[in-house]
Each structure stands twice: as C-alpha cells, then as structure tokens.
Structure 1
Amino acid sequence: MDGVSAEQMLERADYGVVEAITRTVGLSAGGTPGNGGLAFSSRGFYGVNSVGVAEDGMVLGVAAGTTAYPGDSWGYERIDVLRGPASLMYGSGTMGATVNAVRKQPSRTSSAEVLLGAGSNDTLRLGLGATGALGTYASYRIDSYTTRSAGERDLDNSRSGKFMSTLRFQPTSELQVDLIADRSVQNPSRYWGTPGVDGKVVQSLRDINYNADDSIVRYVDERMRAKLQWKANDWLTVRNELYHVQSDRRWRNIESYAFNPRTATVARSDYLEILHDLEQTGNRLGLNMDWGAHQVAMGWEAARINLRLSNNSPYGGASTVSAWDPVHGSWASPDVTAPKTETGVTQHALYLEDAWRINDRWLAMAGLRRDVYSFARHELVAGTDFDKTLGANSWRLGLTYALAGNTHVYGQVSMGHDPVTSLVSLNLANRSYALSKGRQAEVGIKQQVAGGRGEWTLAVFDIKKDDIITRDPERPAISIQGGRQSSRGAEFTAMFQATPALRLEGNLAYVDARFDQLIEAGGNRAGNRPLNVPRTTANLWGHYRVGAWQASLGLRHVGDRFANNANSVVLPAYTVADAALSWQMDQRTTLSLIGRNLADRFYVGSSYGSQFLVGQGRSFEITAHIRF
C-alpha cells in the first residue's frame, strides 16, 4: 500500500483526487461525465466495479456505474492506494485496487490554513481549513473548498463546493467520539467528447462542444457519521461507526455525436435524462486486540442501500448542427422522464484478520471475510419484480521477512470478488449471475538506501479473474458467466534525496492484461487487452530547493489503451510535463506559479462511446497557501 500525502498534493498542485491518484504507481484515469469521473485502471482492471473509492474506509454502494465522491483533495491528510484484490477490507468491487481518502483530524492545538488560486480559463479556487479546542474536552475540524473554471470550450464550465466538519469529544484518554457532517455539490464539465472518424479523433474539433445550452451534470452528496473509539483496556480497542449518506445525481445531456466530413455537420442523438436518488445507512463495528505477538482485527458491517432510478428511456431525440459553428439549442426529448425502478440492498459482512509477529524478522498475516448481499428490486413500469441473494468469501495470506534492518521482502496470496455489474443496479437480465472471483499472488521487496536518504520498492503480481460475462459459444445470442481475464506485471517506485537541495521521486508500472476467454456480440475477444488498460504508466518528479525557492518538474506517461474490447480503436500513448515554482515568503505563506501540460500536448484522456475526451491543454495558475 502507498499513496500521496497532503504536502505532496500541495507541492505538485494536485487539487483533484484524479490528479493526485494518477501520480501513484500503476493508476491511470478513465473518468467521464457518465461514470462520475472517478473511474481508474489498476493492475489490468478498469472501472468503478473493479477499482473502489472510499473515504475513511467507508465505501458508498455503486449505482449504475457511477462514483463521484470525493472529487477534490482538500481536507484530506493523505490518499492511500491498496492495490490488487481488496475485498478483505472493503468488500466487493475492488479487484484492481481501492483508493481511500483519509480526512484531516481535529486537534486541540489551534491552526488554520487558506488556499487561494487563480489561473487560465478563468479558474478560481478557495480552500479554508481550521482546527482547535472547544472547552475542556472537545475539539473541531472544518474544511471548506470551492472552485470554478470556464473550461476550454463552450459549456465546458465547471464549479464545485464542499463543507466538511468534525466535532470531537474526548472526555478521557480512553474514549473518543466524533460527529461528522459533510455536504458536497459538484457541477462538472458538460463536455461528452470530440467526435472521431475511422476510429480516430478529429483534432480540429477539439475546442467545440456539441451539448445543449441547458444541459446538466450535477452531483449532491450529504454525509453524516457518528464514530466512537473506546480503549477498554491494554489489549482491547472497540470502534463503532454509524453513518447515513444521501447522493442525488442528475444528468440531462445530448451525449452522442457523429461527424460527417462531407457535409461538415454533426448528428446529435441520445437525449438522456437520468436521476439517481441514492441513500445508504450503515454501521461498522470493529474490535482490535493486541495479544502479545498477535494483533487481531475483527468486525461486523451492515448497510442498507436504496436507489430510486428515474430516466427518459429509450432516450429519443435527434438533431444536426454545424461541425464548426454549432447552435447548441435546448434539450428536448419525445420520451418522458419518470421513475423506473426502486432497488433495496441489504449488506452484511464479517471479517477476521491476524498479524502475527513470529520473531524480529518474520511477520505473518492472515485474514478472512464473508459478504452477503440481499436484493429486492421493484420495477415501477414493467412490473417484473424480483429478489436475489449473493454471497462470497475473501481471504488473504501473507508473509514478510526482514533481510536486514533496511530491507524487507514479502509475499502474499489473496482472493476477492467483483460484481458483474454495479451491485445496486442488478436487473432482471443479470439476476442469475454470481459474483466474479479473482485470485492474486504478489511478491515484493522494499529497501532503504544511502543511510535513509532514499528508498525503493518492487512488486510483481499475477491476477486471474473468473466468471466474467461472456456469450454462450453454442448460442451466441445468450449471455452467460464463464469468461476469464488475467493480468501480470511489475510496479517500481523510488525516492532519493540526491543532495540537500535535490529530491527525486518516480514510479514505473508494466502490466500484461488480457481476456483468456470472452465472446461478445462482435466476436471472440480472447487474447485482447481490456479497454482503458495501458501496458505502461510512469511518473517522475524532481524538486530543487535553493533558500526560500523550490522548482519542481513532473512528467506523467500513460501508454496506449483501447477504447473497446475488440481493440479496434486505439487511444494513443501520451506524456505531459507539469511544473511548479514556489517561493516561501515567510514561515506562514507560500506563493506558487503552476504550469500544467507545458508543451501543450494534444492527447486523449479517455473515451465515451465513439467519442474522445481530449485532455486539458496548457494552463497556468498562481496560488497562495497560508498557514496560521
């Protein structure tokens, strides 16, 4: 497990979770407005049903392939990444990795921080954070953040804001109670991509948006939590968390564009309006026991998830506009938007994990988890209601050996599970399917060098996933479970303080991912690489400090990917350069000049259907970070 700290995110000016996470080894982004923007690829597996996103260990049930929270990195102490099957800790939907944002905590020592920023495309941002004591036994933490940008094209404007608050009561050193209330509102870009011809993006159309003037993309998240931690005695700590989350999402857009070069027009279709009313209430109870050489964690989790889905299926509507000077017009569809389904999911999980310190050199780890999901789906239109129960086991075995004080080797095997579709969106067509199962074997080595001035880590892994959806070879029109995919690869990370002034950080990942057995409507995909999975990713940062000044230069490389499982549409590899020049005015204030995509490289970040989402061009920003 590794990740990025708050200091690293500020140093690199990574204000979004996507930007911060894709600096870590092996993670690449594949977000779109349709999946909430938090879709990643890791170790050969892509999407919100294989790479989970959590906050303080709490995962929101994924509905209709969408994960949208948290969108920005302000207010988080660090963002951890646990790679490979993480079902033991987080449940289903974590075959590739889990991203976990860890909040900044209240302190009885008063402090505050402010972030101010302004830059290209009318970008503005403001972050506020404060903590301190309240009376004899209480403390608080408040973080607020807002940002807006006009974007690079019409209707590309975005804005978001959030408020995070924690009130902590600690009447004794053994008892701590946190009350947490958060609200986030995101209005991301309404850009659904640039059309292509013959599987390639039309670069001359990169700055044009074909959506409607009154289009909408909006995510509202409200979270309330009560957390208790009680150190009962020297060997037992009890933790309990009761939470309620509500997420309201709305899309109203024209999402499909077909470019006709002969007539210089774009045909628009898929006039979609979709609304999610998602609520999740749950409780997480954990016991941590320290029994000599054994550190045991066990617990029970329960949650109830309710989703009311409304849409205007079958998404009719069509229009044709000029490719170079489109009249955006208004969104209008012949299909009425109405509630279509109500789904309730009850989840229970039990887990047990033990870390056994055999001696000064050997550490053994073992864990087991059982998840059970009970579904009840009410079809408001079709009337085809159904119930379904799914269950799966996860386990992990690991061993770590200290070769020397500065060198450790490890090995582990684990098993996890993914849903064949978003768990909260199980429907009549896939009600008979079980959870897909995955197995991982991993070995690695971690070493400190040069008297602690540097360190490096190398991990090698092999993952196999069974029971993905495929077509029956004898009856190709029928979908069944039985497909398989696999990945194997290596990840390398390193940091070195070359001189008191020069620090280098970098990582490199290679993955060989493929479908071992998969038949789709268009043919046999065995041997193909899954969509949105690059073979190689790399990051390199150099930081040079002289007195109160620091210059930072970063390179990010993402290898080529495919936009479909047929591997017929290629998203070319790209490398972008970012930089930051910072001046520490005094002990409290740091001013920074930030440049992103310095070479103004044209690249495709991801795809949406037959469209290509073009990455951000060159931009600059000035920020001030002030601590009190």
Structure 2
Amino acid sequence: MPTVTVQGDASHEGLGLARQSATASRLNLTAQELPASAESLSADTMQARGDLLVKDAVTRTTGLTDISSPGNGVAYSARGFSGNGSVAMLENGQRPQVGSGTATYPSDPWGYEYIEVLRGPGSIVYGSGTTGATINAVRKAPSRASSFEAMAGYGGGKALRGGVGATGALGEKGAFRIDAYADRSDGFIDRGESRHGKILTSMTYALTADLDLDMSLDHLEQKPQRYFGTPLVNGHISRELRDQNYDVGDADISFNDDKAIARLTWRVTPALTISNELAYMKARRNWRNAEYYYYDTQANVVERSDYIAIQHRQEQTGNRLEARWNAGANRVVAGWEVASINFQHNNNSPYGGSSTVTPTGFNPGVFDSPDPVKPNFRTDTTTNALYVEDAYSVADSLLLLGGVRHDQYKVGRVSLLGAAGFTSRLHSNAVRLGLTWKLASDTSLYGQVSSGSDPVVSLLSLNLANSRYKLTSSRQVETGVKQSLANGKVEWTAALYHIGKDDIITRDPSNPALSIQGGSQSSRGAEATASVTLAQAWRLEANAAYTDAQFDQLIESGNVSRAGNRPADVPKVSANLWLNYRRDGWRGALGARYVGARFIDNGNTQVLPAYTTLDVSLGWNVNRNVVVQLNLRNLTDKLYAATSYSDSQYLLGDRRHAELTVQWRY
C-alpha cells in the first residue's frame, strides 16, 4: 500500500499555556492554572531560532538579561535581582549549590525537551537563591519507541558542532536514551578558541507493575573562551580593538561536571505516589588568566594586572524523599531534602603580576605571577529542607495554591592556610499563597503573595567576616492575566509585581567602618508576552518587560547613601520580537532583541549603552527526515557590550556571523 504521511499544523506553538509546568510546582499544574509567571521554550522553538546556547534561549524569554562572564560561568538578571545568588539554574529539577558565585551548566540546549523559566521567588520547590527567577532545563526522556536524531553545523569563527541522540527499548520493561554533543570555535577575537563536550545517558525500568527505577549518568567538559573583555578608550568601546584579546598566551579556563541520579517511584495507589531521588554531582573548575586591563591613552599602551589562578573542587550528594496525593479537589505534595556538599577553593591570592602591551600586534606573553597557587579553604555544608504544597480546587473556576518550606544550612569552614575556622548555622522560611480564577475556559486571572531568601554570598564560600550574616529575605506580590483564544492561535499573558528584599549588606550609619545587615532594595514592574498566528503560515511572538528597581536603603564606603539608585546589571526595559514563517517545507524567522541601558555600579556613575540586535534563520525540509538551516546572527554587525567585567573593560557581543546546520530525525 502507498505510504501516507500525516503532518500536524506546526505553524503556531504558542506560549504553551496548556503545558504542565515542572518548575513552578510539583503538582502537575498547567501554566494556565498556575498563579505565577512561567514561560517555556521547546526544543523545536530553540532549533528553529538557531539558539546554540542555553543563555541565547533564556534571554529570549520575558525580562531575562545575560550577565555571564568567564568568572561566573552562566548568570542572569531578572526582575531587578542579579547573579547566581538570586537566579537559580537547574537541570531536570536538580540544583547544584553555587560555589564562589559560579554556575557552569546547563550551557547548551542539546538533549533537552524544553527550558522553563519561573519569574519571581519560587523557593517552595527549590530553596534559597530564587528571588529573581528559577530556570530549569528539562531532559528528553527515554522512550521504548525507537528514534534517532543528529545535528551538524559549521559557521563563523570556524565553529564546528555536532550532536546525536537516540532512544529505544531496553529489554521488555525498560527504555534508554543517550545524547552526545561537542563543539569547537576559534571565536571572533584573537586566541578565542573554545570547545565543549558532553554525554547524557538515562534509562527507565519497570521493576514491578507499580515500581519504576530511573537512572541517569552525565559527563560534561567545557573550555570556554579565554576572554575577559575589551578595555575602554576614553570611556568608550573602540571598534579598532574589537578583535583583540589581552589575556596571556597560555591562559586556561576549564569546567568539568559529572552527575549521577537514581530515582525510585512507587505508585502506592492510583492517588498516592512516593518517590526517592538520590543524586551525586561533582565539579572541577580551573582559571589561570590575566583578568584586568586598562588603556593608558597617554602612553598608548594597555596595562594588565590581576594574574589570577583559582581552582574549585566541589562534590554534592543529596536525597529527596517525596509523596504526592492527587485525588478529588486536592493535589498535595510533601517532601524532605537533605544534601552534603564539600567545596575546596585553591588560589594564588593576592593575585600579583602585571605587564604592559601595545594595543595591537603584541606578544601576549605567559602567565607570570609571583604568588603560587595554594589550598585556601575548605567548607563542608549540610542542608535540610521540608516542604509541602497544596493545590485545592475551591470550585470549577477557582484554584487555591498554598505552600510552605523550611530550609536549614550548616556550614563549617576550615582554613588551609592556618587561619581560624568556624561553623555557621542559617535557616529560612518561605511561603506562597496564590489564587487562579478562571473567567472562562480560555481566560484566567491570578494573584499571589510569596516569600523567599537569598544568601549574602555563596554559602559554600562563607568567610569569617560574613559568617555572622543571616540569609536575606524577600517578598513578592504579583497579579496577572492569561488568555488563549482561537484554539491556541492567540495566546497572551500580562503581569504586575512588586518585590522587596531586606537584610542586604550596608554600612553602619553610626560607624561607617562596620558592615551590617540592614540595607534593602526593591523592584516593581510590568511584563507582557504574546503569541499570535497572523495567517496560516505566519506567527508573531513578542515580549516586553519594564523593571523599576532601586536601593531603598544602602550605605557604601565613605558613608555614601545609594538610596534611590538602580542596582547594577538591571535594564529598565528589555524586549524580544520574532516573526515566524512555516509552510510547504520552509521555515523562517526574523528576530529582534532589545536590552536597555544598565549601570555597572551601585553609584550609577557608568552606563552600559542600550543595544538592539537582529537575527535571521531560514530552514528547508529536504524531506521528512532532514532539515537544512541557515542562521544569521547580529545582522547589522552591532558593536555592543553584553556585560561589564570592570569599570575599564567590557565583554563585547559577537560580531555578525552565519552558521549552517543540518538536522536528521528518524
């Protein structure tokens, strides 16, 4: 018989309001039901847009700004709060504790089904450090139905990349999945070589009719670009220095991560499920670079200093025991989490070493510091958390969501240089209460109040000076609307929020030489997201965020008040726009990204200029299994700073470039 091909209408994916959110709650609530701002990006959407990094995809969502650097790995700003202490990053619901402010994965989207972003405090599920947002990359799950996919790409900067993924049956009761990915690039600057590689493996097996075993084992290696920014010339970005790299010739950055997870799921009754998840994570990170640059206009030379060598050695073992009840009007989840984290920090403090080079045509030299690398300190951290969350259907049109969480942290620090050690105990409580009112089957209003907490500094790197500080506390009030029309061809959401955060570090007004907890900051804002199918083949996607953030109380060195100033790295306005076309085997997209001006310091004395970039992608379905796609990035070759590394140097965004990819699916 002749082959019959059935192809669904993929001209609109929408905002996924009918999709269950694994990040905002563990109660299988859809985004439409959830009384909070949540957004998701599917693997198909990321591939169609040509997003080759997780941060490329995440910053397409509403109000998320990239502030990543070689020092912090991957980091974002959201709703007026910045860094890995306020924006949590997870992989399949597992969250590594942040060591010295650095988070390194997930870095690329290969092997993930979708990426979810929950804006605002989400600490009922994931603990402290979520005042700004929670980002979760959800893996592709094993399936007994065999499939294979592959990708290969070549592009600007002599970039090469390739990935494979396969899934299928494992015996009569199981399934496996394996995803592998690697890339390399010469970059868009001198000596900008980088490479990444990973392998993700997972399996599921039905031990009995009611008991499942899920396991995963992953290994990731990264050699990021050894680039710490371009020095400013008379306070401005110089196009003539765009391609220059002022790091030393033998600079090194490397991140290695390993993770293993085993989960047992027992379906006790149709309504009651109990699961236990055991996780082990290990990270090894190394830096050896000259990281500070200053352009001396009088002598016409670049002065280099801060010859920094740092090593992180981190191991984390954790367990999550959880019970879920889903029957009648109530959906309830309760759990206990415990983890033990060992972290060692080696460095060459006080980071001596300096050199001077000409702006162009220079010998980069080698890493030459008078300070040897020594073991500095080790911390042993134990965490315990209890949480419970309940989604109660008051009526067919009313859903009440409430939850509470309690976290305890015990941090013991041992100096490896002979200084005094200490033990610090911290705790935090978080609550969330939200109501969703379904005005119609396609329209809902919601409101919520929630609280959370952030550490003053990374818990794993507490020192004696900040060991006396408690966790900061945050609280949020949010209201919004979500609507899906014309069978999902038109979807839009809007939200208003106010967040306050107390107990940030400030100077003692009566004794400016002392640092105390007593400062505060806040943000309020409006966000809107929409997806509209204009015609059968055309779809418009857009989002915009307005953020009014400020320090309410902050005194810095010199007894200078920063009250009323905007925190660093926070744009007032950011927006994304995508026009998509898909028909007769062709797909195309034109995208624009706008990031407003940001200050680089609390004193608001120096500004990162606003920028707009344009991206284009064009794909062709050669047949039902093969897609060829051309991605063009920074179409206008905009010279802009993605973020700052110091007051004298900015990390520049990539120049205009193209990449051709081929994708196979069988």
TM-score class, shorter: over 0.9
Partner of 2:404: 368
2:646 to 606, 609, 612: 609
Partner of 2:39: 2
What CA distance in whole angstroms lies between the structure 2 residues aligned with 1:224 and 1:234? 29
2:94 to 45, 48, 58: 58
2:372 to 336, 342, 350: 336
Query: In structure 1, what residue type is equivalent to 2:359?
Result: A
Partner of 2:174: 138
- Bigger mean CA deviation after superposition, 63-72 or 167-176: 167-176
Partner of 1:205: 241
Partner of 1:560: 597
Secondary structure at the residue paired with 2:45? helix
Partner of 2:416: 380
Q: CA deviation at 1:174?
A: 2.5
Query: In structure 1, what residue type is equivalent to 2:329?
Result: A
Q: CA deviation at 1:172?
A: 4.0
Partner of 2:35: none
Secondary structure at the residue paired with 1:428? coil
Does the CA-based 8 Å contact 1:3-1:21 persist in structure 2? no
2:583 to 536, 546, 550: 546
What CA distance in whole angstroms lies between the structure 1 residues aligned with 2:629 and 2:420? 58
Query: In structure 2, what residue type is equivalent to 1:594?
Result: N
Q: Deviations over 1:331-387 (max 9, x none)?
A: 011001010101000000000000001111000010000000001100111421000
Length-normalised TM-score, structure 1: 0.99
Secondary structure at the residue paired with 1:394? strand
Partner of 1:627: 665
Does the CA-based 8 Å contact 2:207-2:213 persist in structure 1? no
Q: CA deviation at 1:266?
A: 0.6
What CA distance in whole angstroms lies between the structure 2 residues aligned with 1:71 and 1:199? 32
Partner of 2:61: 24
Structure 2: which 5+ residue stretches go unaligned? Answer: 1-37
What CA distance in whole angstroms lies between the structure 2 residues aligned with 1:565 and 1:489? 20
Does the CA-based 8 Å contact 2:326-2:332 persist in structure 1? yes
What CA distance in whole angstroms lies between the structure 1 residues aligned with 2:458 and 2:407? 16
The correspondence of residues 305-344 of structure 1 with structure 2, limited to 5 A, is: 305-344=341-380
What CA distance in whole angstroms lies between the structure 1 residues aligned with 2:502 and 2:253? 35
Secondary structure at the residue paired with 2:56? helix
The correspondence of residues 299-310 of structure 1 with structure 2, limited to 5 A, is: 299-310=335-346
Secondary structure at the residue paired with 1:201? coil
1:599 paired to 2:636: yes
1:277 paired to 2:302: no
What CA distance in whole angstroms lies between the structure 1 residues aligned with 2:488 and 2:645? 45
What CA distance in whole angstroms lies between the structure 2 residues aligned with 1:420 and 1:408? 37
Partner of 2:606: 569
Partner of 2:552: 516
Length-normalised TM-score, structure 2: 0.93
Secondary structure at the residue paired with 1:587? coil
Does the CA-based 8 Å contact 1:40-1:47 persist in structure 2? yes
Q: CA deviation at 1:451?
A: 4.3
Q: Deviations over 1:297-327 (max 9, x none)?
A: 0000000011011000000001111112221
What CA distance in whole angstroms lies between the structure 2 residues aligned with 1:311 and 1:393? 35
- CA shift in 2, pair 1:464/1:119, >3 Å: same
1:239 paired to 2:294: no
Secondary structure at the residue paired with 1:477? strand
Does the CA-based 8 Å contact 1:143-1:163 persist in structure 2? yes
1:534 paired to 2:534: no
Does the CA-based 8 Å contact 2:234-2:297 persist in structure 1? no
Query: In structure 1, what residue type is equivalent to 2:363?
Result: V
Partner of 2:442: 406
CA RMSD of aligned residues (A): 1.0
2:293 to 237, 257, 261: 257
Query: In structure 2, what residue type is equivalent to 1:474?
Result: S
Q: CA deviation at 1:198?
A: 4.8
- Bigger mean CA deviation after superposition, 450-459 or 90-99: 450-459
Query: In structure 2, what residue type is equivalent to 1:267?
Result: E
1:44 paired to 2:95: no
What CA distance in whole angstroms lies between the structure 2 residues aligned with 1:283 and 1:474? 46
What CA distance in whole angstroms lies between the structure 2 residues aligned with 1:498 and 1:62? 43
Query: In structure 2, what residue type is equivalent to 1:622?
Result: L
What CA distance in whole angstroms lies between the structure 2 residues aligned with 1:290 and 1:225? 25
What CA distance in whole angstroms lies between the structure 1 residues aligned with 2:209 and 2:504? 49
Does the CA-based 8 Å contact 1:15-1:73 persist in structure 2? yes
Q: CA deviation at 1:291?
A: 3.6
Q: Deviations over 1:130-183 (max 9, x none)?
A: 000021112100000001110011121110000000021124443221111000
Q: CA deviation at 1:204?
A: 2.2
What CA distance in whole angstroms lies between the structure 2 residues aligned with 1:320 and 1:15? 36
Partner of 2:10: none
Partner of 2:656: 618
Does the CA-based 8 Å contact 1:390-1:434 persist in structure 2? yes
Moved over 6 A (4+): none
Query: In structure 2, what residue type is equivalent to 1:619?
Result: H
Partner of 2:9: none
Q: CA deviation at 1:505?
A: 0.8
1:442 to 478, 492, 512: 478
1:112 paired to 2:156: no
Query: In structure 2, what residue type is equivalent to 1:415?
Result: S
1:585 to 606, 618, 622: 622
**Identity value in percent:** 49
Does the CA-based 8 Å contact 1:374-1:389 persist in structure 2? yes
Does the CA-based 8 Å contact 2:500-2:523 persist in structure 1? yes
What CA distance in whole angstroms lies between the structure 1 residues aligned with 2:170 and 2:543? 43
What CA distance in whole angstroms lies between the structure 1 residues aligned with 2:456 and 2:325? 36
Does the CA-based 8 Å contact 2:456-2:472 persist in structure 1? yes
Q: Deviations over 1:16-73 (max 9, x none)?
A: 110010000010100000001x110100001000001011111111111100111111
What CA distance in whole angstroms lies between the structure 1 residues aligned with 2:68 and 2:167? 33
What CA distance in whole angstroms lies between the structure 2 residues aligned with 1:64 and 1:112? 39
Query: In structure 1, what residue type is equivalent to 2:64?
Result: L
1:169 to 183, 205, 209: 205
- Bigger mean CA deviation after superposition, 548-557 or 165-174: 165-174
Query: In structure 1, what residue type is equivalent to 2:595?
Result: V
Query: In structure 2, what residue type is equivalent to 1:370?
Result: H
- CA shift in 2, pair 1:356/1:105, >3 Å: same
What CA distance in whole angstroms lies between the structure 2 residues aligned with 1:171 and 1:282? 23
Secondary structure at the residue paired with 1:11? helix
Does the CA-based 8 Å contact 1:43-1:84 persist in structure 2? yes
- Bigger mean CA deviation after superposition, 513-522 or 96-105: 513-522
1:155 paired to 2:155: no
Does the CA-based 8 Å contact 2:403-2:431 persist in structure 1? yes
Query: In structure 2, what residue type is equivalent to 1:135?
Result: G
What CA distance in whole angstroms lies between the structure 2 residues aligned with 1:174 and 1:529? 54
Q: CA deviation at 1:111?
A: 0.1
Structure 1: which 5+ residue stretches go unaligned? Answer: none
The correspondence of residues 341-352 of structure 1 with structure 2, limited to 5 A, is: 341-352=377-388
Does the CA-based 8 Å contact 1:272-1:313 persist in structure 2? yes
Does the CA-based 8 Å contact 2:411-2:459 persist in structure 1? no
What CA distance in whole angstroms lies between the structure 1 residues aligned with 2:234 and 2:281? 44
Does the CA-based 8 Å contact 1:467-1:483 persist in structure 2? yes
Partner of 1:491: 527
What CA distance in whole angstroms lies between the structure 2 residues aligned with 1:625 and 1:358? 47
Q: CA deviation at 1:399?
A: 0.3
What CA distance in whole angstroms lies between the structure 2 residues aligned with 1:542 and 1:71? 26
Secondary structure at the residue paired with 1:485? strand
1:460 paired to 2:467: no
Secondary structure at the residue paired with 1:445? strand
Q: Deviations over 1:556-594 (max 9, x none)?
A: 111110111111110011110001110001100000011
Query: In structure 1, what residue type is equivalent to 2:566?
Result: R
Partner of 2:138: 102
Does the CA-based 8 Å contact 1:200-1:569 persist in structure 2? no
What CA distance in whole angstroms lies between the structure 1 residues aligned with 2:432 and 2:480? 16
Does the CA-based 8 Å contact 2:273-2:324 persist in structure 1? yes
Query: In structure 2, what residue type is equivalent to 1:248?
Result: R
What CA distance in whole angstroms lies between the structure 1 residues aligned with 2:319 and 2:100? 24
